[in-house]
Amino acid sequence: MSSGLLTIDLGAVCANWRALDTVTRAETSAVVKADAYGLGMARVARALATAGARTFFVANAEEGAALRQALGPGPAINILSGHMPGDTDMIGDLELVPMLNSVDQMIRHVESLPGHSFGIQLDTGMNRLGMEPSEWSAVREIMLQMNPRLIMSHLACADEPDHPMNQHQLSVFKEMTDGLNTQKSLANTGGILLGREFDFELTRPGIGLYGGHPFDEAQSVVSLDIPVIQCRDLEPGESVGYGNSFIAERPTRIATIAAGYADGILRAISSGATLFANEIGCPLAGRVSMDMIGVDVTKLDEDPKSLRLLGAEQSVDDLADCAETIGYEILTSLGSRYTRRYIGI
């Protein structure tokens, strides 16, 4: 086999969902947008539905349609981008619930699908999606008469527990929803970890389900093993890969493995990433190319058949640190060429 093997532990995804569900008093939904952060929306969502998740969030109606196909009738599928032009048939036919973000979206929704379920997204300071306080106070009474299913907002700084923005958004959200009986939701993964006053009636974890920061107690979900194509010996002074950026200082054994930036392995990890043969760390050598990476395997007793880039030895967040990015970007960059194996269910 010459493609990398991406192993996704659905048992760990479900355990992470249950662990986050246990800490709150609220219903726990599951955010499965962007193909469940790159791990495969249909497989992940079906596993979570079996574990007890009844409400799902996706980014847009197309993702919602694919999710309905995977889950069948029953579970609530909420659309974060709301009701966009062209979405009406999907929303209507597939029982999707748009989170309406503006008066324009509200008008589009009630004119095209009168009586169809919807939720409302409020902006409490992130300035990305949702109605601002002034817009909301203008339409609040009309919208409430139409029985929204959910009123939600999103935290901008939830992964920084001491950031004053968290308390600020909490108090704005409370003010904007004061006295309402509608189901409310504010917390993503980081929000769940901030404390019980962020619970409301529904939480919306994403990254924590997939083993990422800030849910640092999460079980590891993803491992990535990349086959070795060829090994060779270098004399001191010889170089590896584009730009000669690795130069051997001593006799060195280099393994060339079968994945590169076309598989979502960010080129920015070239300086500093490690690959693992069992538990032994071997430094990446030279630059990540499109389909290949050089690895210094000098310290191994024998040539490895494959090397591991992600797993218990090196988490998604460890690799993100090498590239000065976040675990979310590592996961959602995972390529389509890997052979995917689902375990744990």
Position 60 contacts ligand PLP (CB under 6 A) = no
Site for ligand PLP in 195-214 (CB under 6 A): 204-208
Among 60, 81, 189, 315, binds ligand PLP (CB under 6 A): 189
Position 154 contacts ligand PLP (CB under 6 A) = yes
Residue 43 among known ligand-binding residues: no
Would you call 33 a catalytic residue per the annotation?
yes
Asked if residues 9 and 343 have their Cβ atoms less than 8 Å apart, the reply is: yes
Asked if residues 24 and 203 have their Cβ atoms less than 8 Å apart, the reply is: yes
Give the Cα separation of 3 and 292 in Å (integer). 11
Position 109 contacts ligand PLP (CB under 6 A) = no
Least distance in angstroms from the C-beta of 102 to ligand PLP: 15
Position 125 contacts ligand PLP (CB under 6 A) = no
Structure tokens at 263: 């598989």
Give the Cα separation of 159 and 116 in Å (integer). 35
Please name the residue that has the structure tokens 């190319």: 289
- Quickly count: other Cβ atoms within 10 Å of residue 287's Cβ: 20
Residue 290 among known ligand-binding residues: yes
Least distance in angstroms from the C-beta of 278 to ligand PLP: 31
Position 256 contacts ligand PLP (CB under 6 A) = no
Question: What DSSP string runs through 63-96?
Answer: HHHHHHHHH-SSSEEEETT---TT-HHHHHHTTE
Query: Angle, nearest 10°, between helix axes 133-145 and 164-176?
Result: 40
Position 80 contacts ligand PLP (CB under 6 A) = yes
The active-site residue, picked from 33, 184, 261, 338, is 33
Site for ligand PLP in 5-34 (CB under 6 A): 31, 33
Please name the residue that has the structure tokens 């349609």: 65
- Interface contacts to ligand PLP, rule CB under 6 A: 31, 33, 80, 154, 188-190, 204-208
| Residues known to be catalytic | 33, 242
